[in-house]
Every structure is written in structure tokens, then in C-alpha cells.
Amino acid sequence: MIDYILAGLGIILMIIGLAGCIVPILPGPPISFIGLLFLQFSRFGHFSVSFLLGMAALAFTVTILDYIVPVWGTKKTGGSKAGIWGATVGMIIGIFFFPPIGIILGPLFGAIVGESIHGASFNQSFKAGLGSLLGFFMGIGLKLIASFIMTFYFFKELF
């Protein structure tokens, strides 16, 4: 009976992990990894230690990259530290005051405001904001890829 409970909880965690790739408050890949562990502790899971360590490393790496990629996007499009700080503050404000759309638009507007305060032209400010937005979407893409890989192996092992 406990095996079915663990597998059921693992399925729930895999679904939450996939949703967490889009909702920034939830750490999607680590939740998906915990779903793999739940399956591993049931009679259905027979993952190798090296596979689990690889998936843990994937979840950790993608989670760290999710914080770095928007900054990289802002820098790549010519944004300054003011734009990076603006994008960060905009994301925090967006998460708490205007969810869910604020999570997407907060970094964009924050980078624009940060760059404008720093003295950049509107075109340069907007370009930095778009870089932040592009980085945000790239982070979502990386998280989705990682969580889909874990979900694939979860269901492959389950069935």
C-alpha cells in the first residue's frame, strides 16, 4: 500500500514541478527531482545512484541558471547594473503585487525604469528590458526541459 502512496505523491510532485517551471515562486526542477525520489523509495523505482546524482545536479544547475540567465540577458543587450537591479526589483514587485502577469512584466518594466534613472535613453532602456524578459523566458525553457526529462524517466520507470 505504501508503494502506491509514494508513487501517487511522486506523480503529484511531478505535476507541481512542471507547474513550478512557469510559476517563479515554486522551484520546478527540485520538486520534480523529489518526485523521482518518492518513486525510488517505492517498489516501482529502480534508478541507479549515478542517475539520481545526475538528475540532482541537473535540478541544481538549472535552478541556479534561472537566476543568472535574466541578468545575462540584460547585460547582453547593453544593460547596466541599474537595469539589472531594476529588473530584480521589478520581478519582486510583480510577484507580490501583480501576479501572475507581474512576474513576466515586472522585470521588463523594472529594467526600463532602472536604466532610465541611470540616464540611458528610452531605446537603450527598452532594449535592456527586453533582454531581461528574454532571459526570463530562457530560464523558463531550461526549467521545463529539465522537469520534462525527469517526468519522462519517472513515468518510464513507473510503467
pTM (predicted TM-score) = 0.84
Range of the domain at 111: 2-158
Torsion over CA: 120, 126, 127, 131 (sign): positive
Contacts of 133 (CB under 8 A, 6+ apart): 73, 104, 107, 108
pLDDT at 20: 94
With a cut of 50, which residues of the chain have pLDDT below it?
none
pLDDT score at 94? 85
Q: Structurally, how many domains does the chain consist of? A: 1
